[in-house]
Amino acid sequence: MDKILINQMAFYGYHGLFPEENKLGQRFYVDVQLMLNLKKSSKSDDMNDSINYGDVYELVKGIMEGKPKNLIEAVAEDIAKDLFHEFNLLKACTVKVTKPDPPIPGHYQSVAVEITRERAE
């Protein structure tokens, strides 16, 4: 399956279990893989035969900077659900939501959730 990859989209949001996360907010990064057939768009050179990256960014931004969720698992699921709703050409997607600075003790680069969903036929 062909893929469109949009990596490391950066946002500031208020998702998290802890009150300080909802009040102070934090950085998030989102990666999406959009699985679809790109053969037609590669021949036609027409955006109507593909998915507009800018539209994907705005959709993700609305969720990431919108109403807070407790879990990034729920945030990732909302992104996947809205991608399918918005883009009829989309066959499957992988969504990764990363918190680089979660308020938990220890030494690590980040925490992340990654989900893969397919369009229900």
List, for residues 28-63, the tens digit of each pLDDT value.
999 999 999 999 999 999 999 999 999 999 999 999
Give the DSSP H/E element, type plus range, for residue 32: strand 26-36
Q: Looking up tokens 């949001």, which residue turns up? A: 13
Beta carbons of 87 and 107 less than 8 angstroms apart: no
CA angle 28, 34, 64 (to 5 degrees): 25
Helix-strand-coil split of the chain, %, nearest 5: 35, 30, 35
* All domains in the chain, ordered by first residue: 2-118 (3.30.1130.10)
Q: Residue 89 to residues 2, 35, 46, 51: CA-CA distances in angstroms?
A: 12, 9, 14, 7
φ/ψ of 42, rounded to 5, equals -70, -25
**Per-residue model confidence (pLDDT) at position 60:** 98
Q: How confident is the model at residue 120 (pLDDT cuts 50, 70, 90)?
A: confident
Q: How far is CA 39 from the centre of its chain?
A: 24
Give the pLDDT of residue 92. Answer: 98
Q: What is the C-alpha to C-alpha distance for residues 55 and 40, in angstroms, rounded to an integer?
A: 20
| Residue 111 identity (one-letter amino acid) | V
Q: Which pTM was predicted?
A: 0.95
Active site members: 99
Whether pLDDT at 121 is above 80? no
